[in-house]
Structure 1
Amino acid sequence: MPVTDEDGGPEPAVGRQPLSPTRRRLPRAEVEEESEDGGIDEESIAGSAAPTAGGISEAAFSPKFFVTEKELGRGGTGVVLLVSHILDGVSLGHFACKRVPVGDNHKWLEKVLMEVQLLQQLSHTNLVSYRHVWLENVHLTTFGPSVPCAFILQQYCNSGDLHNYILSAAKQITKEQLKDQLRRRSRGEPDISSDLNGPRKLPFEQIISFFRDIASGLNYLHSNGFIHRDLKPSNCLLNDTGIPGQELRVLVSDFGEVQMESVARKSTGATGTISYCAPEVLRKVTPDGEYENFTAKSDIFSLGMILYFMCFGNLPYVGADMMNEENENLDTLREEIMAWPGLDGGTRLRPDLPERLYQSLKALISPDPSVRPTAEEILMGIEMQEGTPLVKIESSRPNSYFSC
């Protein structure tokens, strides 16, 4: 039963059921080779076909029951597809399906399945839920051989992600418009196109609603001993239940970088999008040694930067490019983040937002991890948000509090 497209024909990316996967094994070195952005290069995997030992058993492959409708997103390790479950012509709903090339490398498959094992353990209303996992052979390139891929079936969130939700109102700026903006800025003149090309301005109530959802999901992870490590707006998915009166709900997704809090960091460099990384995880313990470890407090910093993004539609870094992340100079941005002094106490970019939110934001994105509250304290502060801040933070500043 092949995966088909919407018209009933074979899905172009999958095609007919290929020969046994044991006849299309890929060299380990090519499967494990990462692309420049730290992800797995599907093109290099698709172009490999020599047999090797330590491959994946043919018995691990499953029949296919889903119709691919479109691509939802693309990340460092694969793509996410929107699929519908069709059984004998009966639709059983829509799902998000993460496709990760694994080649014939059992070791890499084990790493991919660590995310599945984590999803099986965790169940929370603000975490994307797991449904099923299987292997298929997929033609990733037009003329290349089929490549074994892991498919991770997950809950589908029907309203996109937080990053696009906020920036969807921003129009693409042409080169001429950009030149005009630069000329005006150099002359100290106001940017007349800022409102036309600006991000969505979220009201305070919606900011807090979204923030509560993300903090709730993160608190569940932390209370179970896990660190997300790659928290950012594009990993915060929005779901509309369609029920009148109910708000959009935010669910945290993408657990490919999650680790136990007690586990030492194994990766080198930054994991995920560095724009939302805490300064300490970008620093090396010694000049030529390992990087500092991820902690629950580094997740809190990322959460704080998401709150900043929801409030102002950008980040406080000159080198961060919200619209075109690929244009960022990573070395320059990394240095800027590591030198982050914290939020200026007098900065009020949106006068319509309450003072207590600015004070809370200052604690969340403090360069000192001990000043940042825990996810549990954040939720307590939101519950008691009326009036002055009420929740005490156990930190180097004994009289500091958190509240939104």
Structure 2
Amino acid sequence: MSTYRATENYVYKTDECIGRGATGDVYKGVHKVTGEHCALKLCDSRFTQQLQREVEAMRQLQHPNITKFYQLEYDKESAKPILVMELCEKGNLLEVLREPSNAFGLPEEEYLRFFSHLVSGMKHLRQNGFSHRDIKPGNILVCIADDGSYVYKLSDFGTAKPLKDGDFFQSLVGTEEYLHPDIFKTAFIERHRPREFDISVDLWSLGATLYHTATGKVPFQPFHGRGDKHTMFQMISHKDPGVISGEQTSATGDIIWFKELPKTCRLSNRR
């Protein structure tokens, strides 16, 4: 049953959830006066630190390829904080890649557009001294421009951190299939080892995201998926130079390594 909820300036329905994240759910909202649609991220009160980090980052990051932040409001009934952001009608890139037409990755022209937008957003992020720390297709939103083309935008800055070249952090953040080997090792293999990571974690996640978008699948795939932590770690930490992906086709089988994009990839130059 749908229930209307409100903040000072916006209303939303509880059955219009358009996204779910680690720190809260996102709803389609409407401005009470203008009727303008937006995205309302209802934040779990347990994640106060992440909320503060996200608001700080989004207030500083103003760029066409980064999700626009409008203001911070509060649900009138629960008093939970709500981030008011632009609504990206197409959802996120992971949802786009799950469409049957994109099962083998985006078409070349669209991929080049995505690549340009992502690099532009990442450049702005670094110029402003931030590390995202959880780059993946699910954290890239897709808006529709006036001419019908897609605009790709970095989103979800709950794990973002001010981080300059030469700085380090210790938090274990990110998503398994896109994790830098050092973070993966500390999180799942050697949990008591000293932890210290730098900005290179974003570059690894960026590369995994680019591969996924070009091919329709993550670059390293144990037979049992993310449940097989040791095989995944072997893949990402012991691959030879030049290897861009690996696959295990049976439970006890060897890892098959690849130095080129698969033939099913829709890019004209797969090298």
How far is 1:200 from its partner? Answer: 5.1
Q: Compared with structure 1, are the counterparts of its residues 340 and 64 closer, same or farther at alpha carbon in structure 2 (3 Å cutoff)?
A: farther
Distance in structure 2 (CA, Å) of the matches to 1:101 and 1:206: 35
Q: Tell me: higher relative CO, structure 1 or 2? Use CA pairs within 8 A at least 6 residues apart.
A: 2
Match for residue 267 of structure 1? 171
Deviations 1:106-126, CA, capped at 9 Å, x for gaps: xx5354122112111110000
Matched, 1:102 2:40: no
CA contact (8 A) 1:275 1:320 kept: no
Distance in structure 2 (CA, Å) of the matches to 1:226 and 1:302: 15
Deviations 1:321-360, CA, capped at 9 Å, x for gaps: 8xxxxx73162434433334432675341376344x53xx
How far is 1:273 from its partner? Answer: 1.2
Between Structure 1 and Structure 2, which shows a larger proportion of strand residues? Answer: 2
The gaps in structure 2 that reach 5 residues or longer are 245-256
Q: Compared with structure 1, are the counterparts of its residues 247 and 64 closer, same or farther at alpha carbon in structure 2 (3 Å cutoff)?
A: closer
CA contact (8 A) 2:53 2:159 kept: no
TM-score (norm: length of structure 1):
0.55
1:214 maps to amino acid: L
Q: Compared with structure 1, are the counterparts of its residues 84 and 310 closer, same or farther at alpha carbon in structure 2 (3 Å cutoff)?
A: same
Match for residue 278 of structure 1? 180
Distance in structure 1 (CA, Å) of the matches to 2:171 and 2:41: 22
Equivalent residues in 2 for 1:317-328, closer than 5 Å:
317-319=220-222, 328=226
CA contact (8 A) 2:177 2:226 kept: no
Match for residue 312 of structure 1? 215
Matched, 1:339 2:238: yes
Matched, 1:353 2:257: no
Structure 1 residue ranges, 4+ long, deviating more than 4 angstroms after superposition = none
Match for residue 157 of structure 1? 88
Matched, 1:112 2:25: no
CA contact (8 A) 2:211 2:217 kept: yes
The gaps in structure 1 that reach 5 residues or longer are 16-61, 139-146, 171-197, 322-326, 359-404
Equivalent residues in 2 for 1:17-28, closer than 5 Å:
none
Which one has the largest radius of gyration?
1
How far is 1:249 from its partner? Answer: 0.9
1:278 maps to amino acid: H
> In structure 2, which of residues 4, 8, 25 is the aligned counterpart of residue 63 of structure 1?
8
Match for residue 84 of structure 1? 30
TM-score (norm: length of structure 2):
0.80
Q: How many residues align?
A: 249
Distance in structure 1 (CA, Å) of the matches to 2:81 and 2:105: 39
Identity %: 23
How far is 1:215 from its partner? Answer: 1.0
